[in-house]
Amino acid sequence: MAGQGLHVGAEAILWAGPGSGRIHLGDNVLMGPGVLITAANYRFNDGHPVTEQAMDEADVSIGNDVWLGAKAMVMPGVTIGDGAIIAAGAVVTRDIPPMAIAAGVPAKVTGQREVTPAL
């Protein structure tokens, strides 16, 4: 499900997975080139070859006015709050609060976004 004003950069990938995973996008989401959002991921320690193991699926929710920098990755089960900015190359493995700026692998909050009132 995608809101209004979605901007998707070149080679961005949204993969909800083969079963129950969903990706929810708010209004005015901006995705840079090469962004990956996935609601599914293979397990790796079930005692079988990786390609034969089950997948874990969990919904991803991205709020309104969120900017995902180039090649950022958002993993299953993550919620990114309204107004957040995710730095280029960041790997988001846990929730990011509204108006936060997050960077790194794994992504951590490094700052807070300030919004100037509209004139």
CA distance 24 to 13: 14
Rg of the Cα trace of the chain? 15
Q: Is 24 among the residues known to form the active site? A: no
- The conformation of residue 48, written as its DSSP 8-state character, comes to S
Residue pair 90/102 in contact (Cβ under 8 Å)? The answer is yes
- Give me the torsion for CA of 91, 96, 102, 107, rounded to 10°: -30
Q: Which of 43, 48, 94, 113 is catalytic?
A: 48
Residues with catalytic function: 48
